Amino acid sequence: MASLPRVVATSVIRSAHEGESHGGVYMMDLSNGACDQVVRWDFGAINWEGRGSERGLRGIAFTDDLVIVAASDEVILYDKRFNVLDSYTNAYLKHCHEIIRAGDLVWLTSTGFDCVLGMDLHTGRFVHGYQLKRTYPNQLTRRLERFPTYSVRRFDPEGPDGPRMNDRLHLNNVWVDGEALFVCGTELRHLVGIRGESTEIYAHVPKGTHNARPFGSGVIANHTERNRIAFMTRKGRPKRTFQIRTYDERALVNASLPSDHARQAFGRGLCVWDHRLVIGGSSPATISVFDFVTAERVASFNITMDVRNAIHGLEVWPF
């Protein structure tokens, strides 16, 4: 336990009301469960309709001296003490989910536009845009959700010819490996690789996943609909699963809300440390650590029993 790292996590408080905090950033020491809320997010000028909607804070990334956090339609740069240094927006950034930094770029999923944006950290300008599209051979395969093909359209995110607002794929994760971008979403059954203007189906994944990305010889993801983290082959066959922690319903706060608005064991937020430990987030705001080899839960800490408070971004603190 003493060797476990510190992590930083963001949260979205689903079904929060105007005037309430609807998210935050937490720093947790996984060796002892000590936790501090370092950012309280109560920005009011958002759309309050729906479950998560524009609430809360999302993906997390780092440079040598910056903490980068995404809100629904804003990129916020913090120093290591979480003082705000700058923030950036873009007309094609809406309902952002996960982000990743690669060199001088931070890549962001813009879920509301079915696209991925690349922002230059030196200039704050959005310099890349990729809109992902899915097509089927015919109406039958569309109804069965079988045999899709994917294409990508590059666009200038600071120009007038970007995509219309559209959330068909619910892109929620982006990963960078070499020259390839990998994207996935809850409405996809594939982890899709993007190289330039070409795409490939890298792996099959269950519908409804979060945080899907290449890992070793396969794929790791939050299989959110099954309340577990799964390590799968590229054909989608589970090789190892890690069951998300659940609680006695009587211990939960706001458990009477409909399950489509807030439910426990909603898995989102995922990172791997030291090639051995899988760290996952869930609701009510819980961070759990699993041994990849044995699949055993070696630690689990709860921040609040309010079932609306769902972990979103989750990363090992690198400083």
Length of the chain equals 319
Helix (H, G, I), strand (E, B) or coil at 32: coil
Evaluate whether 307 touches 29 at the Cβ level (below 8 Å): no
pLDDT above 50 for 234: yes
Instruction: Out of 71-75, 153-157, 255-259, 292-296, pick the least confident.
Output: 255-259
DSSP string, 163-187: PPP--SS-EEEEEEETTEEEEEETT
> What mean pLDDT comes out for the span 178-196?
95
Evaluate whether 273 touches 288 at the Cβ level (below 8 Å): no
Distance CA 80, CA 209 (A): 31
DSSP state of 253: B
Average predicted confidence (pLDDT) for the chain = 91
- What percent of the chain shows pLDDT beyond 70? 91
pLDDT above 70 for 237: yes
CATH topology of domain 6-289+302-316: Lipocalin (2.40.128)
If phi > 0 it is left, if psi is from -120 to 50 it is alpha, else beta; for residue 211 that is left
> What mean pLDDT comes out for the span 114-133?
97
pLDDT above 70 for 32: yes
CA distances for 184 relative to 73, 181, 187, 192, angstroms: 19, 10, 8, 6
Helix (H, G, I), strand (E, B) or coil at 273: strand
Evaluate whether 85 touches 78 at the Cβ level (below 8 Å): yes
pLDDT above 80 for 22: no
CA 154 to chain centre: 23
> What mean pLDDT comes out for the span 292-312?
94
Chain segment 41-87, per-residue pLDDT in tens: 775 444 434 444 566 799 999 999 999 999 999 999 999 999 999 99
Domain ranges of the chain: 6-289+302-316
Residue 54, pLDDT score: 62
**Global confidence as pTM:** 0.92
> What mean pLDDT comes out for the span 8-34?
80
Residue 263, pLDDT score: 87
